[in-house]
């Protein structure tokens, strides 16, 4: 077989999520005056569209005499009057623990957001849980990997509240393997034989609720050292560290506008399924425009108020507002920023089903590309380009 007449091609593999540029020389050679004129008029039309939307939003066209859920409306100003740059149909990337069913039992409560509640979130399911002092989330296990962060003091006299993150959007708290559920659904004579005890000793097992305890109240446990000794058994304590003192670590990035701590398998080796960033944005600050190459981003808002625009490519973008208790989701490689829109610190978690935290910022992309190329694409001048941060800022203004 001959290669004669075959068009020669060179394939350049580009890793997922990495920026690329077409051949500029070829592009310029192929451009004509006619094309340039068409481009100019469509640019003017686009500018007029933004102007028209803005005018409509501030006139009679935006009047709203019908029924409204006032609380939701006030919480979503960027849905009511979207930035005129928002456009197109995109899936909802906002959710909130505050609108989920709370399963309350003696000893505490839980509520969850799974892919059933939040279809855009496929990698991660989240559970928010509280246990009163002495409250117990029953002994259990499950298929999904679990990552947790304490939200209120572990040693507070009134108990604690925490966030659980699972590396599977389909995970459900209602479907874990509970020790009492399993024992109760095993024939009495089998359980007696398994443990080598008389059947009469098992009355208690068959008196637990039909679906197991799940959460139940007990006295406050003994000092931690006693529990640790019991758990170590005759094999001794595990050499693997399952906890990480996040607030004791210095920020991974810090600017005058905020700070970021990154926790992944690099500094918390057991956390192979989940990578996380804890982000603090001061009033007026913003998590700069960026994207993530390796996983979708699941967000949990801890404090403050903010807004995020997710750019869905192909002319589609939407802005949503977030407050404490809310969840956000950014599909893998989609551009976004998070801006503090309140007067207090904005604090949130970025969670990824990945063993490493990865991101690329718009400024990094621009400052590692030939400058004239960027100026031609974005129609900005040298002075403007020179003012853009050369290095990853993460939180702006720097
Ligand atoms: Co992000």
CA 207 / ligand 1 centre spacing (Å): 48
Per-residue pLDDT tens digits for 340-360: 999 999 999 999 999 999 999
Q: Which comes out higher in pLDDT, residue 239 or 331?
A: 331
Task: Please check the confidence at residue 327 and state whether its pLDDT lies above 60.
Answer: yes
In a domain, residue 82? The reply is no
Residue that is last in its domain, among 179, 204, 220: 220
SS3 state at 31: coil
Together in a domain, 104 and 157? yes
Q: Is the peptide bond before 270 cis (omega within 30 degrees of 0)?
A: no
| Percent of the chain scoring above 70 in pLDDT | 87
Token pair for 282: 């001061």
Indicate the pLDDT class of residue 12, thresholds 50, 70 and 90: low
Over the stretch 44-68, which tens digit does the pLDDT of each residue have?
766 778 899 899 999 999 999 999 9
166 CA from centroid of ligand 1 (Å): 18
254 and 318 together in one domain: yes
Whether 210 shows a pLDDT value over 60: the answer reads yes
Rounded CA separation 205/222 (Å): 24
Let me know if residue 4 belongs to a domain.
no
The answer to whether residue 36 is domain-embedded is: no
Same domain, 185 and 265: no
Q: Is 395 exposed, middle or buried (0-12, 13-18, 19+ CB in 10 A)?
A: buried
The mean per-residue pLDDT over the stretch 325-352 comes to: 98
Strand partners, 13: none
Rounded CA separation 395/76 (Å):
24
Q: If you measure from the C-alpha of residue 248 to the centroid of ligand 1, how many angstroms do you get, rounded to a whole number? A: 23
Shared-domain flag, residues 281 and 196: no
CA 184, 189, 191, 195 torsion-angle sign: positive
Domain that holds residue 385: 246-396
* Total Cβ atoms within 10 A of residue 216: 18
Partners of 351 in the β-ladder: 276, 298
Is the confidence at residue 187, as pLDDT, over 80? yes
Last residue of a domain, one of 220, 255, 282: 220
Residue 5 has a pLDDT of 44
Residue 195 and residue 103 share a domain: yes
> Which segment of 154-158, 235-239, 265-269, 303-307 scores lowest on mean pLDDT?
154-158
Same domain? For 251 and 378 the reply is yes
98 and 213 in a single domain? The answer is yes
For residue 170, how far is the Cα from the chain centroid? 16
Residue 51 in domain: no
User: Of 185, 220, 255, which residue sits at a domain end?
Assistant: 220
Mean pLDDT of the chain, nearest integer: 90
Give the confidence band of 375 by pLDDT, cuts at 50, 70, 90.
Answer: very high
CA geometry: angle at 31 spanning 28 and 33, to 5°? Answer: 130
Task: Say whether both 283 and 379 belong to one domain.
Answer: yes
User: Judging by beta carbons within 10 Å of its beta carbon (0-12, 13-18, 19+), is residue 51 exposed, middle or buried?
Assistant: exposed
SS3 labels along 201-233: HHCCHHHCCCCCCCEEECCCCCCHHHHHHHHHC
SS3 143: coil
The per-residue pLDDT for range 243-296, each reduced to its tens digit, is 999 989 999 999 999 999 999 999 999 999 999 999 999 999 999 999 999 999
**pLDDT value at 240 more than 70:** yes
Burial class (CB in 10 A: 0-12, 13-18, 19+), 381: exposed
* Residue 135 and residue 252 in one domain: no
- Taking only the tens place, the pLDDT of each residue in 75-104 is 999 999 999 999 999 999 999 999 999 999
Query: 384: domain CATH number?
Result: 2.60.120.10
Lowest mean pLDDT among 56-60, 146-150, 154-158: 154-158
Domain-located, residue 3: no
pLDDT at 215 over 80: yes
The band of 23, judged by pLDDT with boundaries at 50, 70 and 90, is low
Q: What number of residues does the chain have?
A: 398
Task: Give the Å distance between the CA of 351 and the centre of ligand 1.
Answer: 9
DSSP result, 154-185: TT-TT-EEEEEEES-TT--GGGSEEHHHHHHT
CA of residue 260 relative to chain centroid, distance: 14
Of residues 147, 60, 174, 132, the one with CA closest to residue 357:
147
Q: How far is CA 372 from CA 36, 313, 367, 377, 378, in A?
A: 18, 24, 11, 9, 10
Q: Which pLDDT value is given to residue 379? A: 97
Give SS3 for 78.
helix
**Is 331 among the domain residues?**
yes
Report the separation in Å between the CA atom of 259 and the middle of ligand 1, taken as the mean of its atom positions: 14
Number of folded domains that form the chain? 2
| Ligand 1: centre distance to CA 260 (Å) | 12
Q: Which of 291, 290, 278, 321 is nearest to 94 (CA)?
A: 321
In the prediction, which pLDDT does 383 show?
97
> How many angstroms separate the alpha carbon of residue 245 from the centre of ligand 1?
23
Statement to judge: residues 201 and 305 lie in one domain: no
Is residue 175, in this structure, part of any structural domain at all?
yes
Mean pLDDT of the 193-202 span: 98
pLDDT of residue 313: 97
pLDDT given at position 27: 46
Give the chain's count of helices (H) and strands (E): 10, 22
CA 325 – ligand 1 centroid, Å: 18
pLDDT surpasses 90 at 8: no
Contact 268, 290 (CB under 8 A): no
- The CA 330 to ligand 1 mean position distance, Å, reads 7
Confidence of residue 42 (pLDDT cuts 50, 70, 90): low
How many angstroms separate the alpha carbon of residue 290 from the centre of ligand 1?
6
Residue 151 is predicted with a pLDDT of 94
Check residue 131 and give its pLDDT: 95
Dist. CA 52 → ligand 1 center (Å): 31
Q: Do 213 and 254 sit in the same domain of this protein? A: no
On whether the CB atoms of residues 112 and 163 are closer than 8 A, the answer is no
Question: Burial letters for 268-298: b for 16+ Cβ neighbours within 10 Å, e otherwise?
Answer: beebebbbbbbbbbbeebbbbbbbbebbbbb
Q: What's the gap in Å between 358 CA and the centre of ligand 1?
A: 9
pLDDT of the residue at 50: 87
Active-site amino acid positions: 350
User: 215 and 255 in one domain?
Assistant: no
Find out whether 280 and 3 touch, Cβ atoms under 8 Å. Answer: no
Average pLDDT over residues 136-162: 89
pLDDT of 31 strictly over 50: no
The rounded Å distance from CA 369 to ligand 1 centre is 22
Q: Would you say residue 290 lies in a domain?
A: yes
């Amino acid at each position: 077989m001959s290669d004669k007449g075959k068009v020669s091609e060179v394939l350049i593999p580009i890793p997922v999520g990495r920026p690329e540029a077409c051949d500029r020389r070829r592009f310029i050679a192929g451009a004509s005056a006619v094309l340039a004129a068409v481009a100019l008029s469509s640019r003017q039309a686009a500018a007029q569209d933004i102007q028209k939307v803005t005018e409509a939003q501030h006139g009679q066209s935006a009047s709203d005499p019908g029924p409204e859920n006032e609380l939701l409306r006030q919480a979503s100003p960027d849905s009511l009057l979207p930035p005129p740059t928002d456009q197109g149909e995109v899936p909802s990337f906002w959710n909130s623990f505050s609108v989920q069913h709370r399963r309350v039992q003696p000893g505490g409560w839980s509520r969850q957001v799974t892919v059933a509640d939040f279809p855009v979130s496929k990698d991660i399911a989240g559970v928010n849980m509280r246990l009163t002092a002495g409250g117990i989330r029953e002994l259990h296990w499950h298929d999904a990997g679990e990552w947790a962060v304490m939200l209120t003091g572990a040693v507070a006299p009134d108990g604690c509240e925490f966030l659980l993150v699972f590396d599977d959007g389909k995970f459900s708290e209602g479907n874990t393997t509970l020790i009492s559920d399993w024992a109760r659904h095993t024939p009495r004579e089998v359980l007696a034989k398994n443990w080598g005890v008389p059947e009469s000793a098992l009355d208690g097992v068959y008196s637990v609720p039909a679906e197991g305890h799940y959460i139940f109240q007990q006295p406050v446990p003994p000092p931690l050292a006693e529990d640790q000794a019991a758990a170590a058994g005759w094999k001794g304590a595990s050499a693997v560290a399952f906890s990480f003192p996040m607030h004791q670590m210095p920020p991974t990035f810090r600017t005058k506008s905020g700070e970021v701590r990154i926790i992944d398998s690099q500094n918390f080796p057991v956390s192979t399924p989940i990578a996380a960033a804890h982000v603090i944005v001061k009033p007026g600050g913003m998590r700069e425009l960026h994207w993530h190459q390796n996983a979708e981003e699941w967000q949990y808002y801890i404090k403050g108020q903010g807004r995020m625009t997710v750019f869905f490519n192909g002319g589609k973008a939407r802005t949503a507002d977030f407050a404490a208790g809310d969840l956000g989701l950014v599909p893998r490689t989609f551009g976004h920023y998070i801006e503090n829109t309140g007067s207090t610190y904005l604090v949130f978690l970025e969670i990824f089903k990945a063993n490493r935290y990865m991101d690329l910022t718009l400024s990094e992309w621009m400052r590692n590309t030939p400058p004239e190329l960027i100026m031609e694409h974005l129609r900005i001048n040298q002075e403007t380009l020179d003012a853009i941060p050369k290095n990853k800022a993460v939180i702006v203004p720097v």
